[in-house]
Amino acid sequence: MCNVSQHHHSLARFAFLSFFIAMVIGCSESNRVTSNVVWSELQRNSFDTIDFASLGGGQWTRICFLGPYNTDSEKTLGFDWQVSDYTSALNSDTHNVIVFSTNTQVIHYLAYERNRGDFSSMSGDCFERDDALFARSPENEDWMSYIPTEKRTLATK
């Protein structure tokens, strides 16, 4: 038979373990870049620039862009990862997929609506984290299209 002391000890252990798991899950989720995070960063910079290097925690080393209908993510990334296995967002003109990765694995990706900031001019390109600063293109003032501040891509179209 279990005494009251053992029961309280078990409850305390369970509470601590639950709290620890919640903290780990919460911390990993807070490092994820979401569409709202990108949108907020664009707003904060008056839609002129976005520096992805400051977003998403420290695990990723490069950022890659896949524009509409560009499902050849393996060629862009240089390793086996098929965007079509994770999202169908590129089956229309409405989204880009932004991939945060290392040279060997995807850390995180998100489907981003082009009407909130369009990165499709860089479809098929990857950039080192240090080169992840993008500016609004001056070519079309009515559309929020972004281009690299310097043309130093890792992958080519």
Q: What is the pLDDT at residue 83? A: 97
- pLDDT for 141: 79
Q: Are 146 and 137 in contact (CB under 8 A)?
A: yes
The per-residue pLDDT for 56 is 84
Q: Which long-range contacts (CB under 8 A, 24 or more apart) does 130-139 make?
A: 130/53, 132/51, 132/52, 132/53, 132/62, 132/63, 133/49, 133/50, 133/51, 133/52, 133/53, 134/49, 134/50, 134/51, 134/52, 135/48, 135/49, 136/47, 136/48, 136/49
What is the per-residue pLDDT for 75? 96
Rounded average pLDDT per 10-residue block, the chain, 157 residues: 51 39 37 90 96 92 97 96 96 96 96 97 96 92 89 45
The confidence score (pLDDT) of residue 4 equals: 52
The token duo for 121 is 């001019």
pLDDT at 18: 38
pTM for this prediction: 0.76
